[in-house]
Amino acid sequence: MMRSSFMPDLNKLIVVCGAGGFIGGHLIADLRRQGARNLRAVDSKPLEEWYQRFDGVENLVLDLQELPSCRAALDGAQIVYNLAADMGGMGFIELNRGLCMLSVLINTHLLMAAREHKAERFFFASSACVYNADKQVSSDITGLKESDAYPAMPEDGYGWEKLFSERMCRHFREDFGLATRVVRYHNVYGPHGTYEGGREKAPSAICRKVILAKLSGKHEIEIWGDGLQTRSFMYIDDCLHGTQMVLNSDFIEPINLGSSQKVTINQLVDIAENIAGIKLKRRYKLDAPKGVNGRNSDNTLIKKVFAWEPSIRLEDGLERTYRWIHDEIGRKAGSGAV
């Protein structure tokens, strides 16, 4: 099992790029809990649109597609987490491939700035969307191994950007000595994330639809695709642990970070219905974006290298997510959180 040889100095500057987003906001919160006192949070969104924002943190609004912004963001940085990207669920990435590709500017310019500022560690958040589409045609997929990214045929747009950026990290490590670490996230979910507006991912979208069906008394739900497509979903707490575990390690290759608990979208709806205590009539929108037929994380490598894999069951994590979205909907409606 690989041991960590790098211990971050919590007194030195840690920069989280994309800190106004879902994972970035949770990462800032977790680093604060650990005692980090020199944190810089960076995002392109106005501060009032950040998912989470904390006192005692240097919060900067910068467009990280621009090199001068990246230089300003990373000035003095010991550790850089790059979680910044223009992205969302399938409803967004299938219809905004050009915008997704432009995120390549973020990672490229951050790598250049990290090299200039002599950062000690650089973390890049890649995605399971890098995997070869030919290996995801069946819903009965066993799991995607890290080697399944090649020969390259990733998700068009978003997946190509992630795979290209992985290679940039590799070559900056090989050519310039920048210590880069890369993980491939598999569908991270949890509270304090997007649950409406078109960028939300399946767990939050399903929770929102079930909640609204129950509150409205109209007991039906629209499901994108036939509901038979399979995925795995990783709760945010597991994501945070795995992210920092890999960053602090000596393991240099891209590695899966995701749950191996595979479910169909229909089963995901079943779980949300059980949480709500309701059964809904299902309407299938077969022409909606649904992505590949099957995608699951093969965790053989992370178990071998780190003796670890995500442990929070989908049923438990989804209940926490459901309760948070329920309270948010109630708060927005002015009816109070229940």
| Active centre residues (catalytic) | 158
Q: Check residue 129 and report its DSSP letter.
A: G
Query: CA 121, CA 151: separation in Å to the nearest integer?
Result: 28
* Partners of 126 in beta bridges: 184
DSSP labels, 34-61: HT---EEEEESS-GGG-S---TTSEEEE
Please give the structure tokens belonging to residue 309: 């894999």
Upstream peptide bond of 289 is cis (omega within 30 degrees of 0): no
End-to-end CA distance of the chain: 45
Within the chain, strands assigned E span 13-17, 39-43, 58-61, 77-82, 121-127, 180-185, 188-189, 220-224, 230-232, 234-235, 255-257, 262-264, 281-285
